[in-house]
Amino acid sequence: MLFENIAIIDENFDYQPNCTVGVESAHIALIAQRPLAPEEREQAKARFGEAYDGHNKLLIPAMYNAHAHAAMTLLRGYAENAPLQVWLNDLVWPFEAHITPEDNYWGTLLACLEMARYGIVSHSDMYFALPERAQATIDAGMKANLCEGFTAFEDKPYGDYDMARLNEEFFAKYHGADEGRILVDFNIHGEYTSHPQVCAGVAEAAKRDNVRIQIHASETQSEHEECKQRHDGMTPMRYFESLGVLDVPVTAAHCVWVEPEDIEIMVKHNVFVAANPASNLKLGSGIAPIPAMLEAGVNVCLGTDGMASNNNHDMFKETYLLATLSKGYYHDPTAVSPKQALYAATRAGALSQGRDDCGLIKEGFKADLAVVSMENPSWTPVVNPLNNLVFSGHGSDVVLTMCDGRVIYRNGAWGGAWGGVDVERAKAEVQARTERILASL
């Protein structure tokens, strides 16, 4: 595809008008900050194929959802108005006990279609039935870092759990599948749902196999403080560090109640913090100290969490909240800039997945792109398009999403590995499966 006369957010997250961007195979092969001359244009059309008119449109790096439980679309609107532990123990876990692998497929597929609609090309997913979630992601034409959710309530070695075998099996079969779009991570759900020897065992296996780890950490004040009571004053982050978990690349979701020493630990071990502002607000968990993290050099990325604690996958909403919550909470209008928020939603998310050649509009990088219409009333007037994008933009402004050079969403139509996805069937399947589970509770 040849994007013509289109504004872009460049690799420095600056706005550049009237650009030309050429996509060849899976990569960005041309960026010219000008319209092409007639002879150049004919040569470019012959090389890149379809010419896309970018008038009144903005080309941005596609978004990376750094923390999701995609199949929880099945629970959308179900577990509401409850604090985290009640929400988890009394509502979510009983529902999840009835979810089948096929349910996971349809829940994940619907989530992927929703994400593609909002300019997201990849997600880091912590849930169950990894093979079915991998297939759903492949069928949607997207990418994901998938881990099998692991809670370990028995105090026994990691190797004694079936999860040890499953992790090795899934890693061997799915890591690098679909031309590298599917990657497999390991998982520790959280400090309060595991035991020290299990955490140490997962860490050892991850180091041996060179695997990333996804965790939850310090989501609520009670979780954070009870960890300190159980482990001689150690915070969850210090606890994970002591067991070697942070010796491999880690994406830690939430980190709402982290302390200054935790931030130092995260910087030391290059931990990626997946902020989930909407979920943390909805569950009453709090507001993460994002300005302190950014000032210290923590890798802050952005996620939606699951649909039982957020209700939609609109990363534009998350970007807006990331950029505005800290301004109000700390009484500082400069706390998080639009550039920092957009970087967290794009490049930082890609890096959290180990996808170093993704998340920027840059020659040689993967063509993970979203086209945003600037024609809607909320975009007028356009004084600083980056400000409009972060503070005025909505996921519904996205008119095209491209993953690895393949168009997966365009003007109300979804395309996947087979060239099309039956969105109506996905919606019907999720509705019917949710109704079946609710009837059994």
Same CATH topology for 2-61+365-414 and 63-352: the answer is no
Triad 150, 155, 191: Cα angle to 5°: 50
pLDDT of residue 283: 93
pLDDT of residue 82: 87
pLDDT of residue 416: 72
Rounded CA separation 242/250 (Å): 14
CATH 2.30.40.10 corresponds to the domain 2-61+365-414: yes
CB contact at 8 A, 182 and 134: yes
Where along the chain do its domains lie? 2-61+365-414, 63-352
Token pair for 354: 């180990």
Long-range Cβ contacts of 295-298 (<8 Å, 24+ apart): 296/263, 296/264, 296/266, 296/267, 297/267, 298/263, 298/266, 298/267, 298/271, 298/273
Q: List Cβ neighbours of 30 (8 Å cut-off, separation of 6 or more).
A: 20, 21, 22, 24, 44, 48, 363
Averages of pLDDT over each 10 residues, the chain, 441 residues: 98 98 98 96 96 97 98 96 88 96 98 98 98 98 98 95 98 98 98 97 98 98 97 98 98 98 98 98 96 98 97 98 97 97 98 98 98 96 95 97 97 81 96 98 95
pLDDT of residue 167: 98
CB contact at 8 A, 286 and 247: no
Q: List Cβ neighbours of 421 (8 Å cut-off, separation of 6 or more).
A: 109, 113, 139, 140, 414, 415
Could you tell me which CATH number the domain at 63-352 has? 3.20.20.140
pLDDT of residue 418: 60
Q: Select from 113, 41, 2, 23 the least CA-distant residue to 427.
A: 113
pLDDT of residue 85: 85
